Structure 1
């Protein structure tokens, strides 16, 4: 049975087509979970500031870049230019690596400060850890599916 999308082989989707293709359907969940990490980390007392600064950088950077990347794909700015499929793999692989590092740091800081934090802040930090690892998983799946799409070009 043929795929439900009408994308020709060797073509990247644009417009609302990104809402129906396998790797590109992850843009919105990546934005949601990345935004939740950003909001949850920003809503608690930042202690120690340096490692959590990395978590904030990763969440804000990936949120903004994913949004811009999605806008480029929706607007069709990637059409008739070579290298976009490879750049898609590179960006999402880098974002997965960044979120993995941020999630590990956030989990470690949360575990170390477990007894020092008020229970509400501890719950918020745990939620941020969970969302960071979910964002890592989404970016990783997106990178793998983008690599499969690139291989089929």
Structure 2
């Protein structure tokens, strides 16, 4: 006779549970840091051949979708289904790729425009680069933890 080693099925949190579970605790820092990238990039002078449009798109897109994702999880609209666990991983992995590309572009443009912009704008751009990579790290950690949760679902 074989012993059963049934593991409890993983579930997606809802309500205030999103403030205490491992991957979902990153929603608020992602919103704060992503919002800071958005604000810092928007507050500097954009030169004509500058590809800051992609950086702004990524920061606004990820900010809005992370906020919607937070609301969906807080309301419990996911009903703790397997598909939502997979979608959670897919979204955060996509956000990592987007933010990594935006951070690299932002760092490159900041490096190139060091001599043609004011020192204040340069400092703001450096801050935006730092927050872009910090946001990338937060989304990366969230994606890894979401993948683990999806695997154990």
TM-score (structure 2 length as normaliser): 0.92
Confirm or deny: 8 A CA contact 2:102 2:132 kept in the other structure.
yes
1:41-56 matched pairs, under 5 angstroms: 41-48=41-48, 50-56=50-56
1:47 is displaced (CA, Å) by 1.8
Q: Distance in 1 between matches of 2:40 and 2:130?
A: 11
Q: Distance in 2 between matches of 1:80 and 1:137?
A: 26
Cα distance 1:49–1:67, how it changes in 2: closer, same or farther (>3 A)?
farther
1:46 is displaced (CA, Å) by 1.0
Structure ID, larger Rg: 2
Tell me, which stretches of 5 or more residues in structure 2 are unaligned? 1-7
Q: How many residues align?
A: 146
Aligned to 2:135: 135
Give structure 1 regions of 4+ aligned residues with deviation exceeding 2 angstroms: none
- Report the aligned-residue RMSD: 1.2
Aligned to 2:78: 78
TM-score (structure 1 length as normaliser): 0.92
Q: Distance in 2 between matches of 1:52 and 1:38?
A: 11
1:106 is the counterpart of 2:113: no
Q: Residue deviations 1:66-116, cap 9 Å, x none? A: 000000000000015430000000000000100000000000000000011
Cα distance 1:68–1:37, how it changes in 2: closer, same or farther (>3 A)?
same
Tell me, which stretches of 5 or more residues in structure 1 are unaligned? 1-7
